[in-house]
Amino acid sequence: MNRFAKYITIGLVFAAQITYAQNFSGWGGAYVQVGSYLGENSTQPYVLDITGTGPVNVSDWRLTVRVTSVGKDGNGNSFPLDKLLLTPSTSLITACPSNASTVSQVGFVPNMLLAFSEQDLVMRPPGVKIYNQDGCNGGLNTFYRYQFGINWAVLGGAYLGQLIAWYKYDINVEFKLYANGILKNTIPIRTQVELKDPLTGSPPVQNSFSLTVGAGAQNGILTLQSRSDYENGKSVTYNNGLTVKTNANYQVTVNASPGTPYFSYQNNNIDLDVLNVQLATTASGVTNLNPVTLSTGAQVIAKGSSTNNNNQNFNVTYSVNPAQKDKLFYAFKDKQQGETTYTTTLQYTILAQ
C-alpha cells in the first residue's frame, strides 16, 4: 500500500467591470504504455487552453480535475487512480501586457494524484489574473491565450504485475474552468494505460505507510477573540498531532476535502486561504516543513526517509494567513450566539516520494 489518508475537522471560531474568458479547450494525455515495474511517464501531456479576444480581467478563476469513470478488465479490476500522478510542466501566456509566468507563479499544485473527487489544479487565490487589454500593437480585440501543460505518469510498483497485459485501461478525466464561481466550460479527455508483457525489472518490495492523527488534533480549533488575533496571525499548535510510520521514503500532503471547499457556518462561507498549515518535528532528515496555505489541492508539508516502521511524531500548527486577514475580520458573526464556528474538513495523506 503506497497511500494512506486521514480526515479531520478544523474550525475557526470568532468572538470593476469584468469580461469572462471566452474559450476553454483541452487535449492530449491520451495514452501511455508501461514496460517496466518502475512505471512510465506519458509523452502526451494534457494541454489546457484558455483563449479569447478583447479585454478580460478575472482574478477569481479555478481549474479543476476529476475522474468521471474508469474501465474494468476481464477480472473486474480498474487501473488504481492513486498510481496516476499529475505534474504541471509548462505555462504559455500571450496577453496584453505581456505576462510570462511560470507554473509555480501561477500557483499550480506541484503534484496531484487523480481521484473521483473534484480537485483544484491551481491554488486559490491564483498567482496571476486572466487579464488582457485592448491597444497592443495599435489594434482592438487583442488576442490572448493562457495555455498550460500538465505531465502525467504511471507510478511504479508490484501492483502492475496484478493487472492484465495488453489491456487498455480507460480513465476518463474531466477538466473544468470557473470564473468568479461560475462554471465556464467542461473538457472531457479519454486516457488509456496499457501494460506490456513481460514487464522489465523486478517487482519492488511492497512499501507500507501509516498515518495517525492524535486525539487532540482530530477536531482542531483556532479561536479569534480580538483584532490583534487577526492582524498578528494567531496560531494554535497540537503537539504530536500527527504520527507517521513507514519502511520507505515518504511525503505527507494536506488539503481540504473537496466536499468542504470553504469554511462554512450555516449559509455563510470563508475562503480556505485564510488558514496556513505547518508541521514540525525534532526528527532529523525531514524537509519541506514550510507553511502552506490551505486549498482543496494536496500540498506537500513534509518529506522524510524511512522510519524503519517506528513512530515519528509531528507537531501540527494552524495559523491565520495575514495576507487574508480581512476575510476573517469582515466575516459574518452570529450575534445571537456566544461563538460563531466556521468548519471545514482536512485530509492528511502519506504516500511514497
Cell triple for residue 110? 506541484
Contact 40, 126 (CB under 8 A): no
CATH class of the region 3-15+206-352: mainly beta
CATH of domain 23-200: 2.60.40
What is the pTM (predicted TM-score) of this model?
Answer: 0.58
Give exposure, 16-49, as e/b (b: 16+ Cβ within 10 Å): eeeebbeebebebbeebebbebebbebeebbbbb
Q: Say how many Å lie between the first and final Cα of the chain, rounded.
A: 13
Helices (H), the chain: 103-106, 227-231, 325-329
* CA–CA dist 94, 32 (Å, integer): 30
Contact 307, 224 (CB under 8 A): no
Q: Which amino acid is at 315?
A: N
Cell triple for residue 59? 482574478
Give, for all 353 residues of the chain, the pLDDT tens digit.
455 555 555 555 544 334 444 688 998 878 899 999 999 998 888 999 999 888 888 988 999 999 999 999 999 999 999 899 999 999 999 888 888 888 888 989 888 889 998 999 988 778 888 998 877 766 677 888 999 999 999 999 989 999 999 999 999 999 999 998 899 999 999 999 999 999 999 887 778 899 999 877 888 899 988 888 988 889 999 999 999 999 999 999 999 988 789 999 999 999 999 999 999 999 988 999 989 999 999 999 999 999 998 999 999 999 999 999 999 999 999 888 888 999 998 999 999 88
Domain ranges of the chain: 3-15+206-352, 23-200
Supply φ then ψ for residue 30, to 5 degrees: -85, -35
pLDDT of 20:
42
Contact 14, 342 (CB under 8 A): yes
Cell triple for residue 182? 461560475
pLDDT of 258:
81
- With 0-12 / 13-18 / 19 or more C-beta atoms within 10 angstroms meaning exposed / middle / buried, residue 204 is middle
CA distances for 223 relative to 11, 133, 230, 315, 343, angstroms: 8, 43, 10, 18, 12
CA distances for 329 relative to 129, 229, 265, angstroms: 25, 10, 15
Q: Do domains 3-15+206-352 and 23-200 have the same CATH topology?
A: yes
- With 0-12 / 13-18 / 19 or more C-beta atoms within 10 angstroms meaning exposed / middle / buried, residue 100 is exposed
Q: Which amino acid is at 32?
A: V
Q: Residue holding cell 526528527?
A: 283
